[in-house]
A and B are shown apart, each in its own frame.
Chain A
Amino acid sequence: MPGMWRMGLSLGRVPDEALLTGLTTGDPELAVAFVRRFQRTVFGVALAVLGDPQLAEDIAQQTFERAWRHAQVYDPRRGSVRSWLTSIAHNLAIDAVRARRASPLDPQDLDALLGTVTETPERRALADDSAERVRRAVAELPREQARALVMAGIYGMTAREVADTEDIPLGTAKTRIRTGTLKVRALLEAAEKR
């Protein structure tokens, strides 16, 4: 593709933060490089939450537009560009889901997602350490806590919605979300100290 190389430097090697800075300059080539680098992640998050490719595409597009408008407030101390984009996509997807959620979560979707986020390490041998630690920690939770954590943390369901979906008292839903979260945090901190 013409222009992919400038002064012998491939845009593929430019750090994420530099591409984000470049995005604000209105240079279409940098915008293409930025979108190309993160589109799988952004679309993947939107699709996992929404389960609807067309809506997920709208949300993914809005994510890039928002990142472009707010690139100046990105703070590298708070996390990577990828995790910043992930959280923008997630927030937008949750808002979209809340705006239209008429039917309860499909139990099959939840089971499939739970399987994805806890799948065995052999299939993920090349995954980075921190993701692997989270995966193992979630896999170690009792099933009902892992379900509550995924419902809240990924699908953005409130404790009341978790309670209704699981047909359990509100207090039990709150306890499952909280216990699951604190256990994962404790397992992560233990793993980081090792």
Chain B
Amino acid sequence: MECERLRELDAELALGVLPARERAEAVAHLDRCPDCREHVERLTAVGDGLLALLPGAEPPVGFESRVVRALDPVPTPKRRRHRPRLAAAAVAAALACGFGGWAIGTVVEAAPPPVTQRTDAGLREAALVSDGHEVGRIYTHAGDEGWVYMSVDLGGNGRGPVRCLLVHVDGSTVPVGSFPLKDGHGYWGAPATTDPATLTGARLTAPDGTLLATASFPTSH
């Protein structure tokens, strides 16, 4: 397929209504043609914009609890499979997306040893601060299925990678991973086993160790 032919099908492709065979040919063209790819990506905003105009509607009573029940993986042996699945999905995502912004799981190996009991302290939030200014927020969720998430805007300070370390009450630091920035801005989340009794804060550093931002979690009690 040539560019001219692709452009005839651009809208149907962007709206997802191209019949399978033409779609396959068009996608093959996009794989090797950055200009057409960008063009079609811009058109997909029209379809997304249309869907955003659809009015919300209240689902039937009981919907929420039915969904949550369906999402609950719980039996413990099953839960243990989560991490490897996350890791595999993360590799696929990183390959597909070209970078590891949401490559959850790639840092599991670096996570601290799991605590065996889930604690009740749950979710914690703190400001990421640089030179006295808030540059982002960090959230942690405690327990052996815990996670850490942050969003940060370091202004013009480049592309990263930014390294995240969790700081404990005894002054020790544990790396949880690193993530790239785009124009100084980035989001990142990863599984991380945290114990709110010992976790006191976080540090973001540049690859050369320069401190970029710090966070202090409010004390538990």
Contact = CB atoms under 8 A, between A and B. Distances in A.
Interface string B2-18: 00000010111011111
Interface string B112-142: 0000000001111100000000000101010
B123 A53 contact: no
Contacts of B124: 6-7, 9
Contacts of B146: 25
B170 to A, nearest CB: 21
A157 B60 CA distance: 27
Contacts, number: 237
Contact of A134 (B49, B96, B187): B49
A159 to B, nearest CB: 6
B43 A185 contact: yes
B11 A73 contact: no
A36 B66 CA distance: 12
B56 interface: yes
A152 interface: yes
Interface in B9-31: 10-12, 14-19
Contacts of B187: 17, 76
B10 A178 contact: yes
Contacts of B93: 72-73, 75
B58 A40 contact: yes
Interface string B167-192: 00000000000000010000101010
Contacts of A160: 19
Please indicate which of the listed interface residues A21, A87, A154 has the most CB atoms of chain B within 10 Å of its own CB: A21
B89 A117 contact: no
A23 to B, nearest CB: 7
Contacts of A60: 59, 63, 67
Nearest to A49: B54
Contacts of A31: 67-68, 71-72
Contact of B12 (A27, A72, A87, A177): A177
A70 interface: yes
Interface residues of B, number: 72
A75 B94 CA distance: 10
> DSSP majority for the B interface?
mixed
Interface in B47-106: 47-60, 63-64, 66-68, 70-74, 79, 82, 86, 89-90, 92-93, 96-97, 101-105
B210 interface: no
B86 A21 contact: no
B68 A35 contact: yes
B54 A188 contact: no
Interface string A4-31: 0011110100110110011111111111
A168 interface: no
A107 interface: no
Nearest to A6: B122
Contact of A73 (B66, B67, B73, B102): B102
Closest 4 A/B residue pairs (Cβ): A134-B49, A40-B56, A181-B11, A21-B189
24 contacts: A14-B125, A15-B139, A21-B189, A27-B145, A28-B68, A31-B68, A31-B71, A43-B59, A48-B54, A48-B55, A61-B67, A61-B70, A64-B71, A73-B92, A75-B101, A91-B16, A130-B52, A131-B49, A131-B52, A158-B18, A174-B8, A178-B10, A181-B14, A181-B47
Given A73-B102, A86-B52, 5 more contacts: A22-B149, A149-B50, A153-B15, A158-B12, A174-B12
Interface of B: 8, 10-12, 14-19, 42-43, 45-60, 63-64, 66-68, 70-74, 79, 82, 86, 89-90, 92-93, 96-97, 101-105, 121-125, 137, 139, 141, 143, 145-147, 149, 151, 182, 187, 189, 191, 218, 220
